[in-house]
Structure 1
């Protein structure tokens, strides 16, 4: 099958030059499947709706996630450890599902259909979470303790429906927005950078509103209303997405890069008993149709086992000699470029694993940090500050530091180092990985002071430094690792490598859940309350924070070792 670009070229071949210039040059199509006109599709006319949807989805998601720990402990009566574990596991699932969503969008349904269906599932899931809060109001004659199991079932059913919905939205919204700008048009290509800026601004702006306004509604006006608002907001986002249908530009599905990764592993295992040729030029180097337009990658000498996927055996040579229309199956024979793409992924895995711990600490922002705040004095003057709203300091730090980093730090560092970005991506990530250590140390010192003071007498505002430190870490590590994975990825694997960022967040959430379970198992023995009991005044949450700080130091050392050994890919 011809590529999208070839399809468009064929359709435009008979048009006069001036008429052809009115169409996009990147092979994008309009809603009717025809070449997209620049003055009727794409650009900001389409991206305003996409940004509106993104704002609504972030507002809705964070409107539930920021204060979920309070709902689980205060309404459903879960223990601190169980609630923190449930929140971490759910959030991790929310960041794991986009991998499946990306495969569905790239291989089968396309980004737009995937987003619409996912939005419907997300809205249904949020309505289910709201129903869990309405159940005691609808069934007034049942004892409250008897209704809790039903509330939990409905709540978690809704939460994991939301996770499935986000799985289709998260990987598609940003890339679908970028599709609205023609890379072949210099003016549109320059405007694409502004789209990414507004995308990140929207994300943090929505988080700020969620951590203040929606959390306040949940704490002061009740959970029924507080959980209904996110559902209504996401439904509004779905309306924004559908309303501008005819202004969008669409790209054809081209298959999932994840399948190509699996093909290398399978082909190498099938030929595990075959010796590699001494001359690497004998490896299969012909680019298949699916790799048309993809730059070749030179052969490297490490990870030689996977080079066996490119060995030509007798049956493969017969197919090539016959010049058969259907080439050898890629599950049996892969080109060198495809093998090298896989090797690049493998080389980045140790660095990716080091980043995972950062997100295990980030998971504390919406779990143990909130639980710590619930045991503190939340009154500031005459106003009661919901503990979950303290994450505002995290968000404000990000909003303030992103432009400062880009406009002030990078130019200053560039003059000192001569690097285009001021410092390397790995240096940026490393600096960010030091922030969780400082944040955990700050939280531990605060908890020690809180335990020594009178109960509920320590102001919740003392948590601001630990939230701000995590915000600094996110500016350095989160953006740095996305930049690193995208920059080091080969042309045909950009989506997969960028998705490693979401997978790191998911793995960090699961790691947090594992650590919380292990700590509870190891410390709550023989009738002891453990480090994280329901009444934190009887526990030692400070020891948990010190443990995380120590693990963070070890993780930073491991990252430094991996970073020194990593050979950066150029070109």
Structure 2
């Protein structure tokens, strides 16, 4: 069989043989990955969207305690991906990491369903309240954190695993990979929509046993989808511990702080290929300068002498961090949308005619456009809140718990921020996959996910600080319980200003960034 029939990116099939491009990968493999993601997200959001109500209703927790427990758990769900990513990049590979962690996920979903439906595990309730025992509460939280651990092995790996199905050295497949990220995000939102509507209704009107049982079945379907495509997958081999390699570079560079870096790169230990576009600090490059002390009894000490590949890995991560940080402010205002197919089928072909770029926009341009749209969305939200408050004043509705205004007033900002999400978050997902070192793609995908957690923490911090500052002297503040007597519009202006400053910094960062080339 011709050499062109095999992928050129080092992927293998499920049996460990070089991946045949005609028999593996591409969309024929991705349909199973997208099905898996849709069902897994349906399961996740199906049990998490209404979780505060369950804690209040069945575990008899107050609003503050319930909210804090859900926040802590949600934060854990965005931290555990670092564990899964480390295992995937270092030892197991993405396929076997997903395969292993779905077992933990299923155990958690099953235990959660049992804790809400089986006598003895579910709390006993009367007309007034429920009376959970310590054991019943413990069983519930054990289930919850099993799910958090399970999702930690899936979140950082699935998107990267889907992208692995396209050979980035093949121009045709490279274009399809960009489209994959759009459809991947759409599959997430389809699962989230069903969960936040149908499943929430079932939980509130049919029962929590069914409300948690259906997500458990959805997770089982996700597992089926994943394993059905096994023969079609292209699998990247793990490259060893990236954390160890990074620490070795840092240690070696400190040990050689007085060593002069030669201008001739051929003198460095394992010189990178000439077409590499990764630039970085010469102080780190010292780790790849070979000296007499680097060989002990004929053996190279990796804590004194590192390869150029290791050095470039660390430089790549350092260069990604500013782009990563710019996503934190955006994460404070985003929400799910269904703009992905519109972007893929309408915006990209139209933009391609003007830019000449195969993806319509570069990844940095795409994220920047999203940041601009997010600024506009906060301005629009502020303007609409000014209009709403004027309506309140003119009609003396201050003390009403609701205002007789249609909910469709909120459509403009939802429309805009949904559009911004497709540009920024999906662009970020694709950017971190493309620009990450080959052996650290899962870890970098996990790193991109942490912007969501940090964005939530930043949002909480902003609300806390704003409330504390604006309520001084007995004032109601910007965000009182009765928003008709507050100034939520001021908070939107604050978010708009922060978003603008974030975009300004992003422009400066993106200006000097040099893309990595596929080799």
What range describes the TM-score normalised by the shorter chain of this pair?
0.7 to 0.9
2:349 paired residue number: 407
- The 8 Å contact of residues 94 and 157 in structure 2, kept in 1 or not, is answered as yes
Secondary structure in 1 aligned to 2:125?
coil
What do residues 386-432 of structure 1 show as CA deviations (whole Å, max 9, x unaligned)? Answer: xxxxxxxx523344334222122x13432xxx555554433332221
1:478 paired residue number: 425
Change beyond 3 A, Cα 1:543–1:126: farther
1:426 paired residue number: 364
2:281 paired residue number: 303
2:312 paired residue number: 340
2:339 paired residue number: 397
Distance 2:17 2:366 in 1: 44
TM-fit CA distance, 1:471: 0.7
For residue 105 of structure 2, the aligned residue among 122, 131, 135 is 122
- The 8 Å contact of residues 113 and 212 in structure 2, kept in 1 or not, is answered as yes
In terms of mean alpha carbon deviation, does 279-288 or 427-436 score higher?
279-288
1:327 paired residue number: 300
Secondary structure in 2 aligned to 1:255?
coil
Secondary structure in 2 aligned to 1:202?
helix
Distance 1:121 1:275 in 2: 49
- The 8 Å contact of residues 57 and 129 in structure 2, kept in 1 or not, is answered as no
For residue 111 of structure 1, the aligned residue among 69, 77, 94 is 94
- The 8 Å contact of residues 89 and 509 in structure 1, kept in 2 or not, is answered as no
2:410 paired residue number: 463
Distance 1:435 1:257 in 2: 36
TM-fit CA distance, 1:533: 5.5
TM-fit CA distance, 1:230: 1.4
Distance 1:158 1:59 in 2: 17
Distance 1:441 1:78 in 2: 35
2:514 paired residue number: 568
Distance 1:146 1:533 in 2: 33
Alignment of 1:6-25 (within 5 A): none
Distance 2:13 2:478 in 1: 58
Change beyond 3 A, Cα 1:154–1:509: farther
- The 8 Å contact of residues 284 and 334 in structure 1, kept in 2 or not, is answered as no
Distance 1:27 1:257 in 2: 18
Change beyond 3 A, Cα 1:355–1:275: same
Over aligned residue pairs, what C-alpha RMSD do you find? 4.2
Does the alignment pair 1:161 with 2:146? yes
TM-fit CA distance, 1:485: 3.8
Q: Any stretches of 5+ residues in structure 1 without a counterpart? A: 1-16, 366-393
Does the alignment pair 1:59 with 2:37? no
Change beyond 3 A, Cα 1:201–1:26: same
Distance 2:166 2:509 in 1: 37
For residue 236 of structure 1, the aligned residue among 221, 245, 248 is 221
1:386 paired residue number: none
TM-fit CA distance, 1:468: 1.4
Does the alignment pair 1:501 with 2:443? no
2:323 paired residue number: 351
TM-fit CA distance, 1:141: 5.3
- The 8 Å contact of residues 133 and 151 in structure 1, kept in 2 or not, is answered as no
Q: Any stretches of 5+ residues in structure 2 without a counterpart? A: none
- The 8 Å contact of residues 183 and 340 in structure 2, kept in 1 or not, is answered as no
What do residues 420-461 of structure 1 show as CA deviations (whole Å, max 9, x unaligned)? Answer: 555443333222113333333444444555562443233333
TM-fit CA distance, 1:139: 0.8
Change beyond 3 A, Cα 1:503–1:228: same
What do residues 453-476 of structure 1 show as CA deviations (whole Å, max 9, x unaligned)? Answer: 443233333222222121111122
Change beyond 3 A, Cα 1:435–1:78: farther
Secondary structure in 2 aligned to 1:217?
helix
For residue 555 of structure 1, the aligned residue among 475, 494, 502 is 502
TM-fit CA distance, 1:478: 1.4
TM-score, normalized by length of structure 2?
A: 0.79
Change beyond 3 A, Cα 1:463–1:216: farther
TM-fit CA distance, 1:118: 1.5
How many residue pairs get aligned? The number is 505
TM-score, normalized by length of structure 1?
A: 0.73
- The 8 Å contact of residues 299 and 336 in structure 1, kept in 2 or not, is answered as no
Change beyond 3 A, Cα 1:191–1:430: closer
Alignment of 1:518-529 (within 5 A): 518-522=465-469
Secondary structure in 2 aligned to 1:469?
helix
